[in-house]
Each structure stands twice: as C-alpha cells, then as structure tokens.
C-alpha cells in the first residue's frame, strides 16, 4: 500500500491512520508543483492528495481512503470494533470533517476564487472563520461527552480533525473556550504515531 501526500495537507490524516495500524506501508511526499503534472493527474484527475495505491487499485477521496485503511486493517479498530453502529458513528465524523470542516477552509486558503476585490476577499474570509468556529464548537461539545469523536475508541475521523486543527492554528480560527478540543489536540500531539507522521512530513509544531 502506498500513500501519496503533501506536507501537512489532509493526506496527513491518512498518514496518521496508516501509522496507527502498525502495518508497513510506503509514503511519498509529492511536491505541490507536481500535483498537476500529467504523471500525477493520471493517478488523480483532480491533481490533489491523498492518493492511495494498493496493488492494481488507485483510490482517491479522503473519506474513501480512510474507510479503505480501516477495513484493510480491522485490528486497528479505526472504525470501531466492527459493529454497524460504531462504523456509522466513525463515518459520521469522517464525513463531518471531510464535507463540512475541510471545505470551509477553501475561502481562507483561496479567497481569490470567491471574491474579486480586497474587501470582498476579507469578507469571505471572515465568514469562513465564523463558520469554522461554529463547526469546531460542535466537535468540542462532542469531545466533552466522549474521549474521541465517535465514542471511546480512537478512529480515522480523529486523525482528520487533528489535521484541520493544525490549519486552524495557522490561519487563526478563534477556538477560545473550546477546552475539549485543546485537550484532544494535546493528546494527539503526544501520540507516537502522530509524531512520526509529523516528522516524516517535516512538520514542527511550536
């Protein structure tokens, strides 16, 4: 199994999940400028990471890749112990991060795609920061009830949420008062598998 990623991007979630399985895998950092090369576009026509290759299969889309890793290594319990309800709860949080939190960053990372003027771009950024605070409030509330997003088991969505918390710190999302999220981030940072993934991707957390 080989994962292609970009340093600190959403592919870091898959990288952490693979480390959590404890099984061997290959990892390659793709330089940003190579994402739109014909060679990489042949793997993913969107020219984005993550991409996972397993034998003859090339898989794109983070939610699908996290699901595939979880199903390929059931002993890692990345979707819980295998019950339908634990799997569904885990998928719920993967989907929440993939479909709600992750896209909410787009106007912050690329405001020029959303507004032409400087004022317009400042406006869409402000709105996105507000939206993110609201979304992280939902995650914080959940983490006040259970140790991990989906319950008392650490799952793939936890890795994905953690990655977006690194983005939140970079772009200045207001997470004040979200003490459960703070504790969650600290727990993740103390995790050896997380530390190994960060180190491999050349990421230092101040």
Say which residue the tokens 């993934």 belong to: 197
Q: Does 49 bind ligand GSH (CB under 6 A)?
A: yes
Q: Name the phi and psi angles at 26, rounded to 5.
A: -105, 150
Instruction: Give the residue with the Cβ less far from ligand GSH, 10 or 143.
Output: 10
- Dihedral of alpha carbons 100, 105, 111, 113, sign: negative
Among 1, 3, 4, 10, binds ligand GSH (CB under 6 A): 10
Instruction: Give the residue with the Cβ less far from ligand GSH, 105 or 151.
Output: 105
Rounded Cα distance, 63 and 91, in Å: 8
Among 1, 6, 124, 143, binds ligand GSH (CB under 6 A): 6
Q: Does 62 bind ligand GSH (CB under 6 A)?
A: yes
Q: Does 16 bind ligand GSH (CB under 6 A)?
A: no
Among 1, 17, 29, 35, binds ligand GSH (CB under 6 A): 35
Among 19, 21, 89, 98, binds ligand GSH (CB under 6 A): 98
Q: How many residues bind ligand GSH (CB under 6 A)?
A: 11
Among 61, 77, 195, 200, binds ligand GSH (CB under 6 A): 61
Instruction: Please choose, out of 6-14, 110-118, 135-143, 193-201, the segment that lies near ligand GSH by the rule CB under 6 A.
Output: 6-14
Instruction: Please choose, out of 16-24, 41-49, 125-133, 172-180, the segment that lies near ligand GSH by the rule CB under 6 A.
Output: 41-49
The span from the first CA to the last CA of the chain, in angstroms, equals 32
Q: Which helix (H) or strand (E) holds 74?
A: none
Nearest to 184, CA basis, from 158, 150, 164: 158
Instruction: Please choose, out of 48-56, 152-160, 173-181, 185-193, the segment that lies near ligand GSH by the rule CB under 6 A.
Output: 48-56
- Strand pairing of 51-54 and 57-60? antiparallel
Nearest to 164, CA basis, from 94, 114, 115: 94
Does residue 54 contact residue 1 with C-beta atoms inside 8 Å? Answer: yes
Sheet of 51-54, strands arranged across: 26-29, 2-5, 51-54, 57-60
Shortest Å, Cβ 38 to ligand GSH: 15
Q: Does 48 bind ligand GSH (CB under 6 A)?
A: yes
Tokens of 85: 């309800």
Tokens of 117: 């003027």
Query: Site residues (CB under 6 A) for ligand GSH?
Result: 6, 9-10, 35, 47-50, 61-62, 98
């Amino acid at each position: 199994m080989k994962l292609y990623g970009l340093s600190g991007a959403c592919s870091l979630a898959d990288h952490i999940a693979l480390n959590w399985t404890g099984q061997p895998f290959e990892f390659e950092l793709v330089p940003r400028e190579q994402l739109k090369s014909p060679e990489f576009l042949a793997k993913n026509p969107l020219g984005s990471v993550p991409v996972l290759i397993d034998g003859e299969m090339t898989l794109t889309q983070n939610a699908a890749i996290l699901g595939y890793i979880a199903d390929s290594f059931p002993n890692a319990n990345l979707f819980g112990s295998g019950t339908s309800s634990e799997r569904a709860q885990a998928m719920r949080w993967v989907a929440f991060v993939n479909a709600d939190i992750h896209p909410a960053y787009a106007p912050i990372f690329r405001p020029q795609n959303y507004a032409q003027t400087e004022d317009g771009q400042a406006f869409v950024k402000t709105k996105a920061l507000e939206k993110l605070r609201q979304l992280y409030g939902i995650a914080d509330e959940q983490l006040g009830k259970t140790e991990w997003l989906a319950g008392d088991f650490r799952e793939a969505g936890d890795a994905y949420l953690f990655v977006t918390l690194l983005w939140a710190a970079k772009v200045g999302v207001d997470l004040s008062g979200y003490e459960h999220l703070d504790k969650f981030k600290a727990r993740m940072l103390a995790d050896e598998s997380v530390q190994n993934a960060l180190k491999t991707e050349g990421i230092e957390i101040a």
